[in-house]
Homo-oligomer: A and B are copies of this chain.
């Protein structure tokens, strides 16, 4: 079996292809940037992108959108996690949380175009923002995010270890279960 994954982000491709590879599924990387709307939620943005791309693609594909939601910051950085990671970065997140409650979650929404319709699959990871950056693996906010019941940040884990917990793989599990594949 083969699945086409649309993303310009190598880290996302690596995580997803590592997991699918273990199940004997080939993950084909369609490396492209596509337009995203300024939506209210990760689901709205993910679905909208897939619906628009489905008009120009002649084959099935999936894509994903992921956001980090910090509860004491009204969900910031939320749908704009990628832009905010590139500008204020982890240092900025830590500056914003001095003396604030640190609970947060990652949310991934996979949108799958099955040739006729777009279906969405969600994956969530609860946790908290660390007191300082730790670790060198992963990308984005991984060095400041500690999953629930863990002592380490996501950036202190190998891809295989991160994939045991992650929002992205939780969404992927839901997606492949829909396809009738057991993990």
Bound state CA distance, A35 and B79, in angstroms? 15
Partner of A87, one of B37, B74, B86, B95: B74
Q: Which residues of B contact A79 (CB under 8 A)?
A: 83
Bound state CA distance, A97 and B76, in angstroms? 17
Question: What class of interface size applies to chain A in its complex with B?
Answer: 20 to 34
Partner of A95, one of B37, B75, B83, B96: B96
Are B95 and A98 closer than 8 Å at their CB atoms? yes
Verify if A23 is at the interface (C-beta below 8 Å from B). Answer: no
Distance of A97 from chain B, by nearest CB (Å): 9
Q: Which residues of B contact A83 (CB under 8 A)?
A: 38, 78-80
Partner of A38, one of B77, B80, B88: B80
Verify if A73 is at the interface (C-beta below 8 Å from B). Answer: yes
Known: A37-B37, A37-B38, A38-B37. A88 touches B80 (CB 8 A): no
Chain A contacts with B in 63-107, Cβ cutoff 8 A: 73-80, 83-84, 86-88, 92, 95-96, 98
Partner of A84, one of B45, B76, B86: B76
A residues whose Cβ falls under 8 Å from a Cβ of B: 35-38, 45, 73-80, 83-84, 86-88, 92, 95-96, 98
